[in-house]
Amino acid sequence: MQTSLCNKTALITGGGRGIGRAIALAFANEGADVCVAARSADEIESVAGEIRDMGRNGFAETCDVADQKAVEAMVASAAEKLGRIDILVNNAGGGLERTNIGDDNPGNWARVIEINLNGTYYCSRAVLPIMKRSRGGAIINVGSGMGHQPRSGNSSYNVAKAGVWILTRCLAMEVWKDNISVNDVIPGPVFTELTSDVFQLGQPHPAIESELVKRPEDVPPLALFLATQGPGGPTGQSFSLARRPI
């Protein structure tokens, strides 16, 4: 049966667990060969094994996306194993502390920017020559509603994701002529290992009554939609699963 990502390849950062793992498995289920990247070797090796069990090529690349040289080496290795990179999902990210400025740790603040924003930039920059040689591709940045509105107590994450949103729009304007789309996905509240201290699965958001806490597996359909639109599809846009205005 012809699947929507047949003969396509994808590189997914933060692919060892949570949303990244869910997207990786969903893409493989739709026919893509997938490389998952993260710092935790055991986790990404496990996901790559699951992908191979589905009959697709699955690879694992250990990498800290905040390290530019490591990213460049990881992308080059992934491209060699996959043959090319049609889709990049910049999913690696997260916060380190929820405190007000002045009560926070400046090192943690900078690290959040490095992982979420700089990591997205490094990975996107590294795949561009590969996608241009293939005459097209899709970059999907996993953003956050917190990058679209100010909030107290978590400025590093807000600022990092706001930067990802502006980077999405800037890059989209620069590469559309190369048939490369760049879009932002807002999952809304999702229960993962990183949010288990804040969210309860299937329950409302603790501060936003309209928001229902989702599973990681609820996010891939939106990423899959963007991955399959082709050169005439949307670019420079933000697509949200949130249940409130963003």
Active-site residues, by number, are 157
Q: Which contiguous run of DSSP H or E holds residue 146?
A: none
Detail the DSSP E strand segments found in 50-143: 58-62, 87-90, 137-142
From the list 104, 91, 105, 60, the residue with the least C-alpha distance to 192 is: 91
Q: Which contiguous run of DSSP H or E holds residue 44?
A: helix 41-53
Q: In whole angstroms, give the CA distance from residue 173 to residue 101.
A: 33
CB atoms inside a 10 Å sphere around CB 128? 20
